[in-house]
Each structure stands twice: as structure tokens, then as C-alpha cells.
Structure 1
Amino acid sequence: MPLPDTMFCAQQIHIPPELPDILKQFTKAAIRTQPADVLQWSAGYFSALSRGDPLPVKDRIEMPVATQKTDTGLTQGLLKVLHKQCSHKQYVELPDLEKKWKNLCLPVEKFRAILELDPCEDKIEWIKFLALGCSSLGGTLNTAMKNVCEILTSDPEGGPARIPFETFAYVYQYLSGLDPELPAVETENYLTNLRLMSESRKNGMIGLSDFFVGKKTI
């Protein structure tokens, strides 16, 4: 004899009081981030939420501008999300970084292509991966440094995007060192001019407007 259908009334159904806000924040995050694969991104979102880790969420809706020959979906906004998730460590384990990459619905082939620019075994210095990611967005070294500054700065969006000179110099030397056509002496002279400028300001900061100091192009 079949069992009767279970009947529920409003008093029997318990809805956790925090559930509506969780779902509201999740929906807003999905709208801002616009993930290519909602299910994959959602798994990463709730996994990070359960651990209290930074969430894979963009600050705002971003209209991607593909500068690569093939658009892989990687944008400055997604690199900024990864920076929030990884910058608390100097070095990041590659399996963990790859998992975060996949949770942003980015192709693993692009991840491996970035690592091939400066091969490593099981971990990478985060600031170097960020630099490689910015470089892979396309354009010149100047464009890569612009992206680096806009990701690392504490200035409001649309501001001068200032970062400490030492950070700028470290990233610039790293990326320029990967380009065999860029003479080391040119890099040294350029950074010397920038250092003098930053020291004259007493704050040791470099912004977007300083890129062409002592150099016609980067």
C-alpha cells in the first residue's frame, strides 16, 4: 500500500534567517562577474564563502576588450579578483592557483601558456604571475605596467594609479628581462630616472602619468 504524500505547512518549514541575504549577495556577485560557466563559478564562490576566503567576484561589471589575437576571456578585472585571492602569500602553489583560475571559468590552456613564459615547478611568486598575466593581455610593456598599476593601486578608480616605486621597478625589471630585444642598460636608465622622480616627491610612489619619463616609449 503506497504511503500517503507528506504534507507540509508553513510552521514545519524552517528557512535559515541568513539564507535570503546569502542568495541576494550571490546574485549580485554573479551579475557583476558575468561568469561564462555559472555552475563552475558558483562552486568556487560557495567554496570560498564557506572557508571565509576572498570571493571570486569582480568589483563591477566589466566590458572585456580583447587585445589578444584570440580572446581567452582573461581581463584586468579577473586578474584583480585573483590578486585579492592570492596576494596574501608571496608564493602560490600552482595546483591551488589553477583551481582558482578554473573557478573563474578561464581556459586551463591559457594558464599553462602564461606559465611557459617563465617555467616553474610547483609554485610561483604571485607578483610575477600577476605581471605575466598583465603582459598576456596584449599590447606593449607599457600596457602591461598600466594594468599592473591599476590592479595594485590603492587610489580610486580613474585616479593616478600610484604604486610604490620599488614594486614598479621589481615588476618592470622582471618583464623587461623576459624580452631579449630590450637592452638591460635601457631598463636601468629608465628606472633610475623614475627613482629620482619618486624620491623628489617624498612619497616614493609612481603613477600612470610617469611612464614616459626619460623615455619615448616602453
Structure 2
Amino acid sequence: MPLPPVMFCAQQIHIPPELPDILKQFTKAAIRTQPADVLLWSAGYFSALSNGDPLPVKDRIEMPVATQKTDTGLTQGLLKVLHKQFRHKEFVELQDLEKKWKNLCLPVEKFRALVKLDPCTDKIEWMKFLALGCSTLGGSLNTAMKHLCEILTTDPEGGPARIPFETFSYVYNYLASLDPEVHSAETESYLAALKETIDSKHTGLIGLSDFYIPRRAY
């Protein structure tokens, strides 16, 4: 004899008071981030939420980038997400970095190809990985530095995107050293000229208008 259907009334169903807000914030985060694999991204989202870690969430919806040197799947927004997760560390474990990369639905083979640009064993300096990521987004070395400034700056969006000149110089030197077509003397001369400009402002900060002039569209 089949069991009678179980009837519930509103008074019998307990809804955790925090559940609606959790689901609301999750939905907004998913819409902003637009993950390629919602289930994979969700696992990373709720894992970070339960551990009190920075969430894998973009600040805003981002249009796809079609000018990358290689198809890493990366965008400036995704690099910024990774930076929020690792900026408190000087060096990061490759295993942990690869996990966060996967949680953003980025192809693991592209991650390993990126790391091979500056081979390391089990750790990599976070600022160097961020620099390598910026360099894959297309364009020149100065374009890579533009992405870096926009990721690291504390200026409001659309502002001068200033960062400490010391940080700029370190990353520029690093990326230039990986390019066989860029000579060290050329790099030193360029940075010395920039430093004179920055020193005259007495801020120690360098922004987009100090070094980056976008190419005109004709």
C-alpha cells in the first residue's frame, strides 16, 4: 500500500534567515563574472565564502578581449580577481594558483604554458605571474604596463590609474628582460627618463598619462 503524500505547511518549513541574502549575492556575482562553467565556478565561490577568502568575482561585467597574443582565456578582470586572492603573498604555490585558475574556468594547459615563460619549481613570485598575465593580453610592453596599472591602482575607475613608480620599474624591468629584442641599456634609459618626470611631481606615483599613449584608430 503506497504511503500517503506528505503535506507541508509554511510553518513546518524552516528557511535559514541568511539564505536569501547568500543566494542574492551569489546570483549577482555570477552575473558580473559570467563564468564559462557555472558549476565549477560555484564550487570555488562557495569554498572561498566558507573559508573567508576573497571571492572569485569580477567588479563588473567585462566584454571579451579579442586582441590577446595567445588564447589564454584571460581578461584584465580575471587577472584582477586573481590579484585580490593573492596580493597578500609575495610568493604563491603553483598548486594553489592552478586551483584558483581552474575555479575561474580558465584552461589549465594555458596556465602551464604561462608559467613556462619563466620556469619555476613549486612557487612563483606573485608580481611576476601577474606581469606575465598582463603581457598575454596583447599589444606592446607599454600596453602590458597599462593593464598592470589598472589592476593595481587604488584610483577610481577611469582615473589616472597611478601606482608606485618602484612597482612599475620592477615589473617593467622584469618583462623587458624576457624580451630578447629589448636591450637592457634601452630599458635603463627609458626608466631613468620616466623617473625624472615622476620625481618632479613629488608623488612617487606613475599613471597612464605618464607613459601610455594609446594608438589611434583609423
Distance 1:70 1:5 in 2: 58
Give the structure 1 partner of residue 56 of structure 2.
56
The aligned counterpart of 1:82 is 82
Gaps of 5+ in 1: 214-218
Aligned to 2:208: 208
Deviation at 1:71, TM superposition (A): 3.6
Task: Name the amino acid aligned to 2:192.
Answer: T
1:127 is aligned to: 127
Structure 1 residues 197 and 25 mapped into 2: Cα distance closer, same or farther (>3 Å)? Answer: same
Correspondence for 1:98: 98
Aligned residues: 213
Aligned-pair CA distance for 1:68: 2.4
- Alignment-derived partner of residue 216 in structure 2: none
Other-structure match for 1:185: 185
Amino acid at match of 1:208: L
Q: Structure 2 length normalisation: TM-score? A: 0.94
Distance, in Å, in 1 between the alignment partners of 2:53 and 2:69 is 34
C-alpha separation in 2, matches of 1:184 and 1:119: 21
Counterpart of 1:216? none
2:70–2:136 CA contact under 8 A, matched in 1:
no
Give the alignment's Cα RMSD to 1 decimal: 1.4
Q: What is the rounded CA distance, in whole Å, between the counterparts of 1:195 and 1:168 in structure 2?
A: 10
> Helix, strand or coil for the counterpart of 1:109?
helix
Q: Distance in 1 between matches of 2:70 and 2:117?
A: 17
TM-score calculated relative to the size of structure 1:
0.94
- Output the CA distance in 2 between the equivalents of 1:110 and 1:210: 32
Unaligned runs of 5+ in 2: 214-218
Deviation at 1:2, TM superposition (A): 4.3
How many angstroms apart in 2 are the aligned matches of 1:63 and 1:71? 15
Q: C-alpha distance in 2, partners of 1:34/1:212?
A: 30
What is the alpha-carbon distance in structure 1 between the residues aligned to residue 93 and residue 70 of structure 2?
27
Q: Quote the Cα distance in structure 1 between the aligned partners of 2:167 and 2:178.
A: 17
Matched residue type, 1:153: T
Match in the other structure for 1:151: 151
